[in-house]
Structures are given as C-alpha cells and as structure tokens.
Chains A and B, each alone.
Chain A
Amino acid sequence: MSSIGYESWAVDLADVGPIYPFQGYEVLMVAIGVIFWLGWHRIQFVRENEHLERAKKRALDHEKVQQSVERY
C-alpha cells in the first residue's frame, strides 16, 4: 500500500498523472482547507474585536490620546 498510489517507480512516466497522496479525496481536502481558512477569519475577527474594545477603554484617558497624536 502506498499513499501516492505507486509502490515503486518501475513505471513509464508517460502513463503517470497525479503523484500526491490520497488521490480521489481532493474535494474533501479542499473542504478541510476552506474550513481552515474560514476558521482563521472567525478567530481573527473575534480577537481583533476584543483587542479594540480593550484599546477603546484605554483611550478614554484624553491626555494619553493627545500624546499619541503628537507623537505621530
């Protein structure tokens, strides 16, 4: 058994197509990849929201905000 479908390279390369593992599961792999991608956005949205909420509370100190503006 070989995950790429070839247990040896005793083949004519003219007859060989894909050589990646788990051929036939491309749609499933892409689905998992899409879940990874969308999950990343979800985590990032939530975290950035929390971060900005904390930053907003800190920014209530008017003097500090003014210092930041002047620092450019």
Chain B
Amino acid sequence: MDGNLNALTTVFTEFYYWVTVVFMFLIHVGFCMYEVGASRRRNHMHTLMKNVMVIPLVTVTFFFFGWWIYWAFPMFPFFGGLDHEMGSGNLPWAETMGPNAADRITGVFWAAFLLFSWTAASIVSGAVIERIRSSALWVHAVLIGSVWWIIDAAWGWHYGGWMVKYLGYHDAYASGVIHAIAGGYALGVIAVLGPRIGKFAKDGTPRDIPPHNPWMLTIGIFLIYTGFWGFYAACNVPVISPEGIGGQITGTTWTATNIYLAPTSLSGITFNFLMSLSGGLMAAYVVSKGDAFWTFSGGLAGVITASAGNDLYHPVQAMLIAAVGVVIVYRLHFWVERRFKLDDAVGAVAVHGYAGFVGLIIAGFVLWGAPSSPYEGYATVNPLGQFIGALIMFFGLGFLPAFAVSKIQAAMGVLRIPEEVELEGLDYAEHHAYEEAKEAIIEADKAHLATKLTPAE
C-alpha cells in the first residue's frame, strides 16, 4: 500500500466488503427461520440442521476449488482454455489465500462470493424440506454452491466472462447467476424427489400445507431482505479510478462500479432496491388477494426480478418491473404446481427461479443497446443475449445437473427418506435421543411432583 490515497482506498474497500459479508449472514439466518417456520413441528431440528450444515460444507469446498473456478473459467471451455494466470493466485495453496501483508482484498472478496454460494445452496434447501435426506441435500449444496453457480459467475458475472463479451449478458445483482440457477436447480431436485405425503389430493388437487409458525416466516423473510441489502452492496466495487479499471473510460473521475467494472452508484442501487421491493410487495398483495406469505415473498421476488438491471434502471422502472415480474411468478407457480404436481414447499422455484428468469429478459429490452462492459469489443445488452443467458442459468447450469444428480441419488436409494419416517417426523426418527431425554425429564418431574409435593388444600 504505497501512498496515502492507495492505502485509504484499499483499507476502505477491505472494510466495505467485510461489512457486506456480515450483513449477508442475515440471509442465511433468515432462510433458517423461514424454513423452520414453514416446516411442521416434527421436522424442526432436521430442517434447521440441514440448512446450518450448508455453511461449513460450502465454505470449505469454496475454499478448496470454488474460488479457483471463478478465476480460471471465464472463457473455459467454449472460447478458450483455463485461465491459469488468474486461477493460480486463487488456488487454496496460493500465498494470497491467507494473511498476506501485500494483499488485503482477496479474503473479503472471497468471503463475499462465498456468502452468495451459501444463498444459492440455501434456496434449494427450502424447496425440499420434510422429505429429502440430509446427505443428498448436502451433496447438492456443494454442487450448486461451489461448482455450478460459480461456473455461471465466471461466464456471466466476471468482467472477462464469455457471456458478457459475446452475448452482452447483463446481470448486475444476480437475477440469473444466483436466483435463476438456484431456482432451476431446486426444480430439478423436486422433479425427482416428489411431493410431500398429503400435498396432493387423489384427484391431483394441490393442498396448502400451512406453516407451523407464521411469525418465524415473517421475521425470516425480513432478515432476508436485510441481508439482501448487504448483497447489493457486495456486488459493487465501491471506488475505483479509470486507470484501475483499465478500459475505455477516460479522464480521472473515480466511480463505483458493478461487477463488470461499469459505472453505477451505491445511491442509485439504494433507490432501486427499495422501489423494486415496494413494487413487488404491492403487486403480490393484489395478485395473491392479501395472502401474507405470498405478499412478503413477492417483495423478495420483486427485487430479484429487477436485480439484473438495478444498477441502471430509473426507480420507477424498477418498481414497475418488479410488479410485472411478481404477477408472472405468482401465476406460473400455481400453474406448474397443478400441471406437473410439483411440491415447492416454500415457493423457492418461483420466487428465485422464475423471477430471475423473467428479470433477465426484461433487462434485455429495457437496457437494449447499453454497454455491458467498460472494455472494447464487448456486445451491448440485448434481449436475445439475455434470453440465452436465462436459459443457460435456469436450465443449463441449474435444472439439468440437479435432475441428473437427483436421478442418480434416487436410483441408489439415497435421495428420499422412508415413508414411515416422513410420517413419524424426522425429529423423532433421527433425534430420538433428544426426544427420549425429554420424556425421561418429564417422567422424573412427574415422579418428583407425586412424591415430594402435595397439592395445596
């Protein structure tokens, strides 16, 4: 860090990302609360444990290979080989992957991406509650969190990614690279996993399985909103000079940028986060006829729909795009549920997958012709590039790998829990020691009451 300005910029950037990481932890807290609230009483501990263990498993695998994929795969395998030069600095044994006085950014930048990885895995986790084996989910968590999403990030969320360069793909706050892929992945898993017992009547009519605790859901989703705010900040480079970008920008004016190093501002995305949240909430309230959970989830779906272009949209555009997206997402969820008999327990495929997909396409039209990158020779944003990008995210890197791996797991008999256990409840079946201890304590208290204390006269 030679020079005061360089030192100040570096330390500010380091601290900026660190703060976003702490905020983003709330996304996972929110997902845990939401899933536990949505599950039935007999499945609480299992649901919670399933999501908590996503944290260490994705973290260590993201350290071992996920982070390297991001830097090595921008052109691989379709338009070039692995980028060994960039990749080597991000291998788990590289000197920059640890305390290093010459590098103060890699750790916090790695952590910011890691928190996105947790989110991708946790989105899948919600859709499959109450009937998937933890072992199967944790394999999926590693695959979506440390392989598939980070490949899509290298291709479409990297300043040198081939999707950005040749398709003009634009996805500033991850409508596609996190949400469409995770929603598509969840769809691939539940298509094989099947619905929970009792979800569909004999004539195929879907039944609502109500949450056991609406308050946990409410607080959970508000925590997700809060963490999502941190996520937005984490997707930006907070301050950088034209010289630092090294692209076509001239002059000496410093700027914040999106992940592609193209200009935006924290102020602008704050407008758009709040306006798209509001548009989503308002539209979801109307379309769901005031259903509380769809209204809250609609706020999230609204932000996700607008996220692809929220670095550039006008706030009113962000609000309207969010509203349009939510109406499509809500209708599509129930159509798919009825048509294909799929049980998406928390609406994750819809809120993340469909919203992300729709958001990418809308961005292609509204931002048509805008530069996708500050570098020369890149395609501009366009509807076809966005549509192809959405297909790659949702189906190519989301649905298909999930479907294939789930089929293998199902064939091996390691995907779904036995029916008897599903009916009894995973907590009683797996955490029997806890339940037995509770029974023993209750019996001991009763015995004490009978022998030592007498009722008041």
Does A10 lie within 8 Å of B250, measured CB to CB?
Answer: yes
Do the beta carbons of B369 and A22 come within 8 Å of each other?
no
User: Does the CB pair A4–B286 fall under 8 Å?
Assistant: no
Interface string of B333-372 (1 = CB under 8 A from A): 0000000000000000000000000000000001111110
Binary flags per residue of B73-117, CB closer than 8 Å to A gives 1, else 0? 000000000000000000000000000000000000000000000
Q: Is A14 an interface residue (CB 8 A)?
A: yes
**B313 close to A9 (CB less than 8 A):** no
Q: Is B56's beta carbon under 8 Å from chain A?
A: no
**Is A60 in the interface zone, CB < 8 Å from B?**
no
| Contact yes or no, B249 A33, CB < 8 A | no
Q: Which of B166-209 contact A (CB under 8 A)?
A: none
A59 CA / B268 CA spacing, docked (Å): 49
Minimum CB–CB distance from A55 to chain B (whole Å) comes to 13
* Nearest chain B residue, comparing its CB with the CB of A19: B312
Whether A40 is near chain B, meaning CB under 8 Å from some CB there, is: yes
The answer to whether A3 has its CB under 8 Å from any CB of chain B is: yes
Asked whether A13 lies within 8 Å of B249 as measured between CB atoms, the reply is yes
Using CB atoms, name the residue of chain B closest to A30. Answer: B316
* Residue in B262, B282, B290, B368 whose CB lies within 8 Å of A9: B262
Contacts A4-B312, A9-B247, A13-B242; A20 near B317 (Cβ below 8 A): yes
Chain A 20-64, CB-CB to B under 8 Å as 1, else 0, gives: 111000100110110011001001100100000000000000000
**Interfacial chain A residues near B323, Cβ < 8 Å:** 36
Please indicate the chain A residues that have their CB under 8 angstroms from the CB of B156 in the complex: none
Residues of A within 8 A of B313 (CB): 20-21
Return B248 CB to nearest CB of chain A, in Å.
4
A29-B316, A32-B316, A33-B316 known; A3+B371 contact, CB < 8 A: no
- How near does chain B come to A60, taking the closest CB pair, in angstroms? 23
Q: Is the CB of A16 closer than 8 A to any CB of chain B?
A: yes
Residues of B235-253 contacting chain A, CB below 8 A: 242, 247-253
Contact residues on B (Cβ < 8 Å of other chain), bracket: 35 or more
Given the known A-B contacts A10-B250, A11-B249, A22-B314, are A32 and B371 also in contact in the complex, defined by CB atoms under 8 Å? no
Name the CB-closest residue of A to B261: A9
Pairwise interchain contact B369-A2, C-beta atoms closer than 8 A: yes
Complex: how many Å from CA A43 to CA B286? 8
Q: A21 to B320, Cβ gap below 8 A?
A: no
CA distance in complex: A12, B249 (Å): 6
- Measured in the bound complex, the distance between the Cα atoms of B365 and A4 in whole Å is 12
Task: Mark each residue of chain B from 355 to 399: 1 if its CB lies under 8 Å from any CB of chain A, else 0.
Answer: 000000000001111110110100010000000000000000000
| Closest-CB distance, B97 to chain A (whole angstroms) | 32
From A21, A29, A33, A36, give the contact of B370 (CB < 8 A): A21
A30 to B317, CA, bound (A): 9
Contact B251 A13 (CB under 8 A): yes
> Do A36 and B374 contact each other (CB < 8 Å), given the known contacts A2-B368, A7-B369, A21-B314?
no
A8 CB–B CB distance under 8 Å: yes
Min Cβ gap B45→A in Å is 30
Question: B282 contacts which chain A residues (CB < 8 A)?
Answer: 36-37, 40
B255 contacts A by Cβ under 8 Å: yes
Q: Which residue on A lies nearest to B248, using beta carbons?
A: A10
Provide the bound-state CA to CA distance between A18 and B419, in Å: 59
A47–B286 Cα distance when bound, in Å, is 9
* Residues of chain B with a CB closer than 8 A to A22's CB: 314, 317
Q: Point out the residues of chain A lying under 8 angstroms from B369, CB to CB.
A: 1-4, 7
Instruction: Find the A residue at minimum CB distance from B378.
Output: A8
- Would you list 20 pairs from A and B whose C-beta atoms are within 8 A, ordered by A residue? A2-B368, A4-B370, A8-B248, A8-B376, A9-B247, A9-B248, A9-B373, A10-B248, A13-B242, A13-B253, A16-B263, A19-B263, A19-B268, A22-B317, A29-B314, A32-B316, A36-B279, A37-B282, A40-B285, A47-B290
Known A2-B371, A20-B313, A40-B282; 12 more pairs at CB < 8 Å: A2-B368, A2-B369, A4-B312, A4-B367, A9-B247, A11-B250, A13-B263, A19-B263, A21-B312, A36-B279, A37-B282, A43-B286
Q: Top 10 nearest A-B pairs by Cβ distance?
A: A12-B251, A2-B369, A10-B248, A13-B253, A20-B314, A9-B374, A33-B316, A29-B316, A4-B370, A14-B253
